[in-house]
Structures are given as structure tokens and as C-alpha cells.
Structure 1
Amino acid sequence: MAHLIFEYSANLAADGDIPGLLRKANHVLIDSGLFPVGGIRSRALRLDEYCVADGDHDDAFVHATVKIGAGRSPQAVKDTANALFDMMKQHFAVQFDQRYLALSLELSEFPEAGTLKHNNIHKRYAKK
């Protein structure tokens, strides 16, 4: 299980390529080999109401929340967070150079006892 939620300021909608960000994020997780492909989910929430810093400028932000199932080593968790954050920095490099932009990421693990799942997507990948 790996779920990614990107919250982003609406002023990035025109040039932030949010669909591309979601695809890249999924591929970072797939390429890690740590997560079943059928359990990876990403989504983005455009925020039209927000205030960054003192609110006097057209500042932008993207905050990623990554939720994974427990059971991976601390180093694997750290490596996953770093790989995702590096991808975010690369994805938004042009915007970072052209405007004020804050990027952040938090990763949390769910204990197995705290999650319920019902998913038949895994079947598709078991056939490969």
C-alpha cells in the first residue's frame, strides 16, 4: 500500500503539469520494488483558498502526504521519501526558478491493524 496526496496551490494549475506529477510519483514507487503496483494510488487536490506566508505575493506550494503500510526497513522508508522529494524538486524546477515556491513532503506508516483493504487490482499484476 502506498497512497500519495498532493495538495497544491491553484496558481500552479496552468504550468505545474499535475497529471505528469502523479504519473512520475507512481513510477518512483513502482521502480523502488517495495510496493505492489496494484496498491499504489496518487491524487492531487487543487486548493483555491490558501494563504502562503504574509499573503501579499503570488507564492505557490505543493505538499505531498505519503502513506505506506508498515513493515519496510527505516532505510527503505527514508529512501522512498528522498526519491519522491527529489522527483518533486525536478518536476517543479522551472517554477522554482521563476517564482516563489514551497515544496514539502511527509511520509507516514500505517500499522497493519489500522487499515482495511478490498482490492481486486492486484489480480491484474499477478498474471504478469
Structure 2
Amino acid sequence: MPHIVVEYTPNLTDLPFDSMLAAVTRRLSESPEVEDEADLKARVICADRFRVGLADSQRGFIHVIVRILEGRSEQAKQDFSQRVADGMLEHMPTFADDMTVHLSVEVVDMHRGSYRKFKLS
């Protein structure tokens, strides 16, 4: 915990995901809610098939899901969301004038009672 999952559309080429993930994890590690930076696990997944509204092209999205153990305050969740958005925007490229891109961030509670984590060596 937290798990950071970035989903994006394949028409957004050359996104600097290494820099984006570094910025997001750095910002989240500075949160008082994160006890150990090694608990931050981030990955990027391409949505091979997608639609944005009714348009066939020139639209894309980047959606970031942050999964955290339940029990955090609404303020803490808003802080997580802002830190992630700021980290993503820090390295966001400029897109072509005819391209519309949506960036969204969602913070989702994981059920504390059923979550299991094992540290293997």
C-alpha cells in the first residue's frame, strides 16, 4: 500500500512515464500517511481498446487509480489525489492542438481485513 495504477490510451505516444512515476512516488512519500516509501508500488497499463465519448480519434485519457487501505480521512484522500495529479502534471508533455486529453485521479479504499502483503527475500 499504496498501489498506483496508471491507465492510458495508446494514442498518447512518448509519455515520460518513468519521470511521471518518479514524481508521483516522491510526492506521495512526503505524505504523513506514508510510513515507508518502499510501500509505494506503481505501474502503467495501456488500454489497448478504448473510446472517449463519441469521437473516433483525437481524444485520449490518463487515469490514475491510487489504492490505499481504508480508514483514511477525506482530507488525506484529497491530499493523495492532489499529490498524484501534481506529479503527473510535472512531466506532462504538450499535445497537438487537435488532441484532447483527460487526466483523472481516483483514490480507492482497499478492505483492510482482506488485504494481505508478504515481504519475500
* Structure 1, 79-88 or 4-13: larger mean CA deviation: 79-88
4+ runs deviating over 3 angstroms? none
* Structure 1, 64-73 or 89-98: larger mean CA deviation: 89-98
* TM-score of the aligned structures, taking structure 1 as reference length: 0.80
* Structure 1, 90-99 or 59-68: larger mean CA deviation: 90-99
User: What is the Cα deviation at residue 120 of structure 1?
Assistant: 4.8
Rounded to whole Å, the distance in 1 between the matches of 2:90 and 2:96 is: 9
Counterparts in 2 of 1:108 and 1:71: CA distance versus 1, 3 Å: same
Rounded to whole Å, the distance in 2 between the matches of 1:96 and 1:110 is: 37
Q: Which residue of 1 aligns with 2:105?
A: 105
Q: Is 2:21–2:88's contact at 8 Å kept on the other side of the alignment?
A: no
Q: Which residue of 2 aligns with 1:87?
A: 87
Give the structure with the higher percent helix.
1
Rounded to whole Å, the distance in 2 between the matches of 1:104 and 1:114 is: 27
Q: Is 2:23–2:90's contact at 8 Å kept on the other side of the alignment?
A: no
Rounded to whole Å, the distance in 1 between the matches of 2:52 and 2:24 is: 24
* Unmatched tracts of structure 2, length 5 or more: none
Instruction: Report the count of equivalent residues.
Output: 120
* TM-score of the aligned structures, taking structure 2 as reference length: 0.84
User: What is the Cα deviation at residue 72 of structure 1?
Assistant: 2.9
Matched, 1:18 2:25: no
User: What is the Cα deviation at residue 115 of structure 1?
Assistant: 0.2
Rounded to whole Å, the distance in 1 between the matches of 2:75 and 2:91 is: 24
Q: Which residue of 2 aligns with 1:69?
A: 69
Rounded to whole Å, the distance in 2 between the matches of 1:83 and 1:98 is: 28
Counterparts in 2 of 1:41 and 1:120: CA distance versus 1, 3 Å: same
The residue identity in structure 1 corresponding to 2:57 is: H
- Percent of residue pairs identical: 26
The residue identity in structure 2 corresponding to 1:23 is: A
Counterparts in 2 of 1:49 and 1:111: CA distance versus 1, 3 Å: closer
Q: Which residue of 2 aligns with 1:51?
A: 51
Rounded to whole Å, the distance in 1 between the matches of 2:91 and 2:76 is: 22
> C-alpha root-mean-square deviation of aligned residues, in Å?
2.2
